Amino acid sequence: MNFLISGTDTGIGKTFCGCGLIRAARAAGVKCTGMKPFCSGDTSDVELIAAAGGNEVPHHLLNPVWLRQPLAPYVAAMLENRPIDITAVQKAYHELAAKFDLVLVEGAGGLLVPILRDYNFRDLSVDLNLEVILVAPNRLGVINHVLLNAESIANAGLRLALLILNEVDPEPTLAAQTNPSILEELLNVPLCLSPFQNEDFSDALKLLQKTR
């Protein structure tokens, strides 16, 4: 089983967490790669994913669709007057899935960010048979955002395999201190707390492996 890494928002650490999982998997002897099928604007995320995987995979497979503007793929493609080829993304994914034991597919923003007018990252997960790793910033408001995402995942018949609460502040607030226990109570989902700027994701990998 491979996974989509999605987030409750943009800029909340999906790439940081995904790269941490790739490095942890490779250190544990798992043949693992990342993939960012749609990249809009700056390509630093793709570079980081490539580096985490030892630069073993050519960029045209890691990132089959690059768009110039830092916007949702559907919007960026409209501005370029350029059709998005979902088939090319599926082909690249299946090529990677045939070569690697674990493929972590990073989304853009959240689950319902549009790729086409009537096709989003949740639809892509269904088509590629991916379970979901949800990354959320550990701050006030995250309980609502996580529960909404969990509901959306369940409604599509997908499985939320792991919730990563990413510490975004060096000094946790009261909300950040209480969020993990409340979410564990409300959701029957493995939860990993990622300390502020801590690159060790071995515990998160162990939780993920238990779900497979």
Q: In tens digits, what is the pLDDT along the chain, a chain of 212 residues?
A: 999 999 999 999 999 999 999 999 999 999 999 999 999 999 999 999 999 999 999 999 999 999 999 999 999 999 999 999 999 999 999 999 999 999 999 999 899 999 999 999 999 999 999 999 999 999 999 999 999 999 999 999 999 999 999 998 898 899 999 999 999 999 999 999 999 888 899 999 998 888 76
What's the CATH number where 154 sits? 3.40.50.300
14-27 vs 44-52: helix crossing angle, rounded to 10: 10
Residue 210 annotated as catalytic: no
Q: Which structural domain, as residue segments, surrounds residue 199?
A: 3-103+111-124+139-211
Q: Is residue 148 part of a domain?
A: yes
Burial class (CB in 10 A: 0-12, 13-18, 19+), 165: buried
The answer to whether 21 and 166 are in contact (CB under 8 A) is no
Q: Is residue 61 part of a domain?
A: yes
Catalytic member of 14, 31, 36, 99? 36
Q: Is residue 25 part of a domain?
A: yes
Q: Is residue 133 part of a domain?
A: no
Distances (CA, A) of 74 to 45, 62, 78, 86, 182: 19, 19, 6, 12, 35
Provide the residue type at 29 as one letter: G
Q: Is residue 131 part of a domain?
A: no
| pLDDT confidence of residue 210 | 82
Domains: count for the chain: 1
Half-sphere exposure of 157 (CA within 13 A, CB side): 6
Q: Is residue 16 part of a domain?
A: yes
> How far is it, in rounded angstroms, from Cα 26 to Cα 39?
24
Q: Is residue 87 part of a domain?
A: yes
Take residue 11 and report the two structure tokens written for it.
Answer: 């800029």
Q: Is residue 129 part of a domain?
A: no
In angstroms, how far is the first alpha carbon of the chain from the final one? Answer: 7
| pLDDT confidence of residue 199 | 87
